[in-house]
Chain A
């Protein structure tokens, strides 16, 4: 089974979020990049489990510049066999998805996995775009994934519940919590990652469809209003008259 796992870098959850250049650019100063958790914990680890059980190959792919190689090596240390980097900044989801689609076309991947979203731009866009560009079925926000031959069984989230579905390979699946457990790379994995193949591919000529014009920070929360634990009527009155939410 040939599996392609799309990974993205993302700022560590505890990173301070700030912007520069008149609030038009994310301030990367002091930011530690990690593999986007949904891509790593769920998509990549489940891909590795399937490969370990059934044989095959796990390739990771990202769209990014040479500075992203460190993040790629982290994913290789967890156990992917090889990596591909499309050598261009990931300007928007469309650009990213179309670059990956250009690479994946005709390569015979049985499964193409992504995380359900990135923790920086949270768009949940790349997987669906990839499916459309490659004319493949798409299972969105899956929490379970099993493969037997060419039959894929998955559990996906639906509005207000979950649903078990069946589809044939090849298929694009976005992965969420429940699919696998995080793996911590061991020293052998980290050493092996240094020599695993990382192919750098020139980008296809494509234009982004969207851009971020600028950013803003939410208004600072005014400090908390403490309520007397013995006077919950006051809280209810405030929620009604002041906050106007009940």
Chain B
């Protein structure tokens, strides 16, 4: 049995569907364990992606990875899991390593693909500059899957939702406040990202970036200097010290492409670079390039996208 942990506190994220799809593709039956009070009908829809049972501990709020590890370990014991899958998101990064120690199970952190024929699992190393193939030496293995590495696929199974009391004890972590911008697409999950840098000259000019993002249905991001001077919030900063992302499409306007920035975006499937400087290093990493002024190109790009979208309907 393969076991998947998902966070269903805010409904089913795309990352959750990816992990269930991944577990199904590994070949065995799939059980899912989750915390929080999501509706049973919502959880049962995981059957469409291959889950045959969902174990739900509705009482756990999931704020303490020390509790979540007990939940997943109890579920793994119950279903006899030999492979346990997490999303390599902020929860997965906090819980999967704890589980590795608790179960003495080797952890493949940040898988980008299904296992190779020999069982080794491909991960990004050296901040995306290379790949490593991880061999797990223990009987049970844990894999955390980097978001946007595989696409969710429907694969219907009959799925039951069962209440599950993991008896995970009390939380050692007290939450004082949560700050979460409403409605924004979380960057690590975004398939399309429009990003801009110092070339935009000031925060008041971000409207043209947001216009393109909204025409495409994309998330917005920025380079480090822009977050450091406070033009944009820190959670939008992509790069070595910010968020690492791997969207299908990354559009960078007015970003030169320093190696630290590339480390955060080099997993993107397609990169479009807009820069006035034809010698900007980012062009070497780009699939499509436009040498020109972002102030002229971005509005034109937005119009072209709108025209395209209108023609599709």
Residues in A lying within 8 Å of B, measured CB to CB: 11, 13-14, 17, 19, 37-38, 92-94, 97-98, 119-129, 131-133, 137-141, 143, 153, 157-168, 176-178, 207-218, 221-222, 224-227, 229-230, 232-233, 235-240, 243, 245-246
Contact = CB atoms under 8 A, between A and B. Distances in A.
A213 B118 CA distance: 10
B249 interface: yes
7 contacts: A92-B106, A119-B240, A161-B235, A163-B179, A227-B288, A232-B301, A235-B304
B12 interface: no
Nearest to B282: A224
Contacts of A153: 176
Given A159-B91, A165-B173, A132 B97 contact: yes
B287 A243 contact: yes
Given A123-B107, A138-B94, A236-B301, 16 more contacts: A13-B263, A123-B109, A128-B97, A132-B102, A160-B181, A162-B235, A163-B175, A207-B137, A209-B136, A213-B134, A215-B130, A215-B131, A218-B129, A218-B266, A232-B300, A243-B287
A93 B263 CA distance: 21
A246 B192 contact: yes
B270 interface: yes
A227 B93 contact: no
Contact of A159 (B89, B132, B177): B89
A164 B101 contact: no
Contacts of B301: 232, 235-236
Contacts of A221: 284-287
A161 B216 CA distance: 23
The residue among A158, A218, A222 with the most chain B CB atoms within 10 A of its own CB is: A158
A19 B304 CA distance: 44
B81 to A, nearest CB: 16
A16 to B, nearest CB: 9
Contact of A94 (B106, B173, B176, B308): B106
Given A165-B175, A227-B290, A212 B93 contact: no
Contact of B93 (A17, A131, A141, A216): A141
B309 to A, nearest CB: 9
A207 to B, nearest CB: 7
B155 interface: no
Contacts, number: 271
Contact of A177 (B63, B123, B242, B289): B242
Given A17-B126, A224-B288, A163 B106 contact: no
Nearest to A37: B241
A122 B14 CA distance: 23
Given A163-B177, A210-B107, A233 B259 contact: no
Interface string B21-44: 000000000000000000000000
Contacts of B260: 13
Contacts of B292: 229
A68 B154 CA distance: 49
B198 interface: no
B196 to A, nearest CB: 17
B101 A121 contact: no
A122 B124 contact: yes
B163 interface: no
Contacts of B59: none
A55 B181 CA distance: 38
For the complex of A and B, 8 pairs with smallest distance between CB atoms: A128-B97, A161-B180, A209-B106, A229-B292, A140-B94, A160-B186, A123-B109, A137-B172
Contact of B249 (A11, A218, A245): A245
A85 to B, nearest CB: 22
A231 to B, nearest CB: 9
A162 B135 contact: no
Contact of A226 (B69, B242, B290): B290
Contact of B130 (A17, A125, A139, A177): A17
Contacts of B272: 235, 239
Contacts of A37: 240-241
B184 A160 contact: yes
Contact of B131 (A139, A167, A216): A216
B75 interface: no
B110 interface: yes
A6 B296 CA distance: 48
